[in-house]
Structure 1
Amino acid sequence: MCLFGATILVPILLGIDPATTLLFNGIGTLIFLVICQWKVPAYLGSSFVYIAPSLMIIGSYGYGAALTGYIASGVFFLIVALIIYRAGSGWVRLIFPDVVMGSVVTIIGLGLAPTAARYAGLAGDNPDLHYVAISLFTLLFTIICMTLFRGVLKILPILSGIVAGTTLAALTGSFSLEPILNAPWFSIPTLYFPVWSAHAIIIIIPASFVTLVELFGHVQVTGTIIGKDLFKEPGLPRMLIGKGVSSILSGFFGATPNTTYSENIGVLAITRVFSTAIFGGAAVLAILFSFCGKVSVAIRCIPEPVIGGVSLILFGVIAAQGIQMLLNAGIDLSHGRNMVLVSVILIIGVSGTMIDLGPANLEGMSLATLVGVVLNLIFLIADKIGFHGDT
């Protein structure tokens, strides 16, 4: 349940059936656990990294095009698994250092800020005060759960905020239980099918680089918590294959790409329960929930201002996590190259800069990631030939 509130936000923001995502989150998790020989305690949920590029694609080409990108993302992870199996993983950190990835993660959060503001009713000239009041109450309650409460409410801040905001909306006449009561107990999740789009592939693949580095970090922290070296057993290639196969399957049938969740790591640290069987059970529950019509309708009926309220804090947290990555890595911004990398990535990412590549336009997070990688490679080559410059 700690992952439920966060994972359902992705399909809501993309305008697709949340039941589809729940179904393939569950199936994807089981695939991941089997491929990893039930040795990695993890649940695969919807990745927020893909929201911004997905919204760009959906607005112009439709959701089917985005699915092509999701499938390509899964294939990307299979390719990386093969490369790492043959050549090791050191090259990943070399090409995608913390200074680049921390800046890109910050861009992801900042890039989603307008979406959060729109859902919260704060983007227009004449905001609906009742609408805004619900979104701000949801935001405040979520913040209180994250900072002041203990126990269940602290572990489930997003879900708690959604419940509190929806309750206020119901009390003020903005939410009705009637659609839920009238919904059937059993229903089939909606399936969506891919439509070929080179544009989607070009836009989505940079997001895959981010989730690749994210996976490395999650595996390292999870291994530390459970006292095992997961890089050796079951090994990084298996985990990448599990994630890749899961994302390919999701893309073929209409769900969003799956990724390991940082919330999952928090639960492991708090409960000290490391059994992979529990995560398998959670996956089965997600599959069962996906076939419950009342659950699906209840998710779809969550009021927009409630989504906006939790999005304001959630997307802000994503940006803050990027900054935290820079701090944890000890990135010194007085170093000229670090300052250039962070500055250029941030400005490219939020300025609306766009490059026309013919079959696709690169902008936002995708362009910022590409620019950051290219700049970093230039600096590495400069070091290799003995041109050190600012050190």
Structure 2
Amino acid sequence: MKKQDMVLDVRDMPKAGNWLILSLQHLFAMFGATILVPFLTEMSQGVALISSGVGTLAYLLITRGRVPAYLGSSFAFIAPISMASQISGLPGAMIGSFLAGLVYGVVALLITMFGLDWLKKVLPPVVVGPVIMVIGLGLASTAVGMAMNDADGNYSGTLLTVALMTLGITILAAIFFKGFFGLIPILFGIIGGYLISFGFGIVDTSGMKAEWNEIISSGSFIELLGAIFSAPEFLVPFVHYQPFEVINFSIVMIMVPIAVVTIMEHTGDQMVLSKVVGRNFLQNPGLNRSILGDGIATMIASVLGGPPNTTYGENIGVLAITRVFSVFVIAGAAIIAILFGFTGIFVAIIEAIPGAVMGGVSILLFGIIASSGLRMLIDNEVDLGDKRNLIISSVILVIGVGGMILQFELKDTTITVSSMALAATIGIILNLILPGREKAYGNGKMFETEPEGEADHDPAA
């Protein structure tokens, strides 16, 4: 990439007048998707924003300020968190998330010791693509249920109307909006659907009214600050629960294997980001540091009671359009997210978003996730006409989307392996044991280490 193509380089600090606007752009790009995950898993949206911001700052520190990436809530963990919560409540899911973060650290250590060849053998595109499709398609029934059913599971034409109107706004924004606005159709859909919901009278405003009444009744400046800023409902181990009382082997089997999928998502994001910025982030600061930073962010989120974090493709799109690659802008977005998470009235506003609105945007968002898995197969030119590839992808899809689980008894404890983990595991085994393994990589672009047509440079190195 030519220097004049950049507005701000990775280590450039923006002018004070532009810093806030540039950081808000990144926050808006990830906002809609990040608050959807805690909505679906019955977590606090405020905690999700705070853990996202803190996790991003930790990621920037671990990668030595060389990778302009923002981390938000991971969709791959939605179904596993729900399953784990049914076994040991949300604390159990948080312990599982923490252990999944440890897997990132192990993988980072293995990459440091042995390079990337072993990862390539275990997770080729023919395995990762279908597993990503399972993430989206496995959540399809959740999106449709939110769109047309009330809290008791009863069909509602009103809710379906709101959901379809929300979906329509989201689609129109995605198709017709250009530049940065074209990157945040989910946010436009949520805002539009929210406003429509007020017209249909399905918004519970009691939380917003309570926060506002507390603000206007403040008698002093100190009381006003206390009314505006308040801590959300954190879920901290050894404070709100005892980790060793909620952890069991079932939670480990449900949560930990999902890290394999998210690590591959992270690797793909790093390669795309390398091409956009014109650096080779897999080499400098290294995929090991990047994966470690992602894992530490997930562990931080689990300690706070927020959903696991992952790098966000939406923010890569912002970088591509604005050509602003500054890590200071990313850090600014993280700090704003933390402030929003501590702002009671803001959290009350987002917590009042009706389920039908989130269902409407989820129809598109979950479909995009599934399509991105299909795109991985296409971009890597994986030949599904080959019987080996066809068998592996077909088995992964049916097991994952069909909801097959594995249960067995171990010392009077029922162990459950989730459908996504089972699908990924069987896909990996099939790829390793079936002959003709070279066909699983397609054109091999997944693990390219050189950005296409761009120089690897870092003036701060």
Tell me if both proteins adopt one fold, taking TM over 0.5 as the criterion: yes
Task: Tell me if structure 2 keeps the 8 A contact 1:135–1:309.
Answer: yes
Instruction: Please report how far the alpha carbon of residue 153 of structure 1 lies from its aligned counterpart in structure 2 after TM superposition.
Output: 3.4
Alignment of 1:211-250 (within 5 A): 211-250=262-301
Query: Are residues 1:338 and 2:381 paired?
Result: no
The residue number in structure 1 matching 2:422 is 367
Instruction: Please report how far the alpha carbon of residue 2 of structure 1 lies from its aligned counterpart in structure 2 after TM superposition.
Output: 0.6
Task: Tell me if structure 2 keeps the 8 A contact 1:46–1:259.
Answer: yes
Query: Which residue of 293, 298, 301 maps to 2:349?
Result: 298
Instruction: Please report how far the alpha carbon of residue 162 of structure 1 lies from its aligned counterpart in structure 2 after TM superposition.
Output: 0.5
The residue number in structure 2 matching 1:172 is 200
Query: Which residue of 335, 355, 358 maps to 1:307?
Result: 358
Query: Are residues 1:208 and 2:259 paired?
Result: yes
Task: Tell me if structure 2 keeps the 8 A contact 1:68–1:197.
Answer: no
Instruction: Please report how far the alpha carbon of residue 130 of structure 1 lies from its aligned counterpart in structure 2 after TM superposition.
Output: 1.1
The residue number in structure 2 matching 1:145 is 173
Instruction: Please report how far the alpha carbon of residue 383 of structure 1 lies from its aligned counterpart in structure 2 after TM superposition.
Output: 5.1
Instruction: Give a deviation string over 1:347-382, Cα, whole Å, max 9, x none.
Output: 111223222133421232111011101111112xx4
Q: In structure 2, how many angstroms separate the alpha carbons of the residues matched to 1:374 and 1:30?
A: 37
Instruction: Please report how far the alpha carbon of residue 206 of structure 1 lies from its aligned counterpart in structure 2 after TM superposition.
Output: 2.1
Q: In structure 1, how many angstroms separate the alpha carbons of the residues matched to 2:253 and 2:279?
A: 37
Amino acid at match of 1:338: N
Q: In structure 2, how many angstroms separate the alpha carbons of the residues matched to 1:205 and 1:331?
A: 28
The residue number in structure 1 matching 2:224 is none
The residue number in structure 1 matching 2:186 is 158
The residue number in structure 2 matching 1:190 is 233
Secondary structure of the equivalent of 2:201? coil
Instruction: Please report how far the alpha carbon of residue 118 of structure 1 lies from its aligned counterpart in structure 2 after TM superposition.
Output: 1.0
Alignment of 1:73-92 (within 5 A): 73-92=100-119
Q: In structure 2, how many angstroms separate the alpha carbons of the residues matched to 1:115 and 1:60?
A: 19
Instruction: Please report how far the alpha carbon of residue 190 of structure 1 lies from its aligned counterpart in structure 2 after TM superposition.
Output: 1.1
The percent identity for this pair of structures is: 40
Query: Which residue of 133, 150, 154 maps to 1:106?
Result: 133
Q: In structure 2, how many angstroms separate the alpha carbons of the residues matched to 1:346 and 1:228?
A: 35
The TM-score normalised by the length of structure 1 is 0.94
Query: Which residue of 73, 76, 87 maps to 1:49?
Result: 76
Task: Tell me if structure 1 keeps the 8 A contact 2:180–2:318.
Answer: no
Amino acid at match of 2:34: T
The residue number in structure 2 matching 1:389 is none
Alignment of 1:114-125 (within 5 A): 114-121=141-148
Instruction: Please report how far the alpha carbon of residue 171 of structure 1 lies from its aligned counterpart in structure 2 after TM superposition.
Output: 1.6
Amino acid at match of 2:303: F
Query: Are residues 1:376 and 2:431 paired?
Result: yes
Query: Are residues 1:60 and 2:103 paired?
Result: no
Q: Unaligned stretches of 5+ in structure 1? A: 385-391
The residue number in structure 2 matching 1:324 is 375
The TM-score normalised by the length of structure 2 is 0.80
Secondary structure of the equivalent of 2:417? strand
The residue number in structure 1 matching 2:307 is 256
Instruction: Please report how far the alpha carbon of residue 125 of structure 1 lies from its aligned counterpart in structure 2 after TM superposition.
Output: 9.2
Instruction: Give a deviation string over 1:288-313, Cα, whole Å, max 9, x none.
Output: 11110011111110011101101111
Q: In structure 2, how many angstroms separate the alpha carbons of the residues matched to 1:104 and 1:120?
A: 25
Instruction: Please report how far the alpha carbon of residue 41 of structure 1 lies from its aligned counterpart in structure 2 after TM superposition.
Output: 0.3
Query: Are residues 1:3 and 2:20 paired?
Result: no
Q: Unaligned stretches of 5+ in structure 2? A: 1-27, 212-226, 238-242, 438-461
Instruction: Please report how far the alpha carbon of residue 257 of structure 1 lies from its aligned counterpart in structure 2 after TM superposition.
Output: 1.0
Task: Tell me if structure 1 keeps the 8 A contact 2:104–2:292.
Answer: yes
Q: 1:242 to 1:278 in 2, by over 3 A?
A: same
Instruction: Give a deviation string over 1:35-88, Cα, whole Å, max 9, x none.
Output: 111100001100001111111222333111111111111110111111100000
Q: In structure 2, how many angstroms separate the alpha carbons of the residues matched to 1:15 and 1:257?
A: 14
Q: In structure 2, how many angstroms separate the alpha carbons of the residues matched to 1:213 and 1:272?
A: 25
Task: Tell me if structure 1 keeps the 8 A contact 2:144–2:359.
Answer: yes
Instruction: Please report how far the alpha carbon of residue 151 of structure 1 lies from its aligned counterpart in structure 2 after TM superposition.
Output: 3.5
Task: Tell me if structure 1 keeps the 8 A contact 2:52–2:72.
Answer: yes
Q: In structure 1, how many angstroms separate the alpha carbons of the residues matched to 2:294 and 2:332?
A: 18
Q: In structure 2, how many angstroms separate the alpha carbons of the residues matched to 1:80 and 1:179?
A: 43
Superposed CA RMSD in Å reads 1.8
Instruction: Please report how far the alpha carbon of residue 186 of structure 1 lies from its aligned counterpart in structure 2 after TM superposition.
Output: 1.5
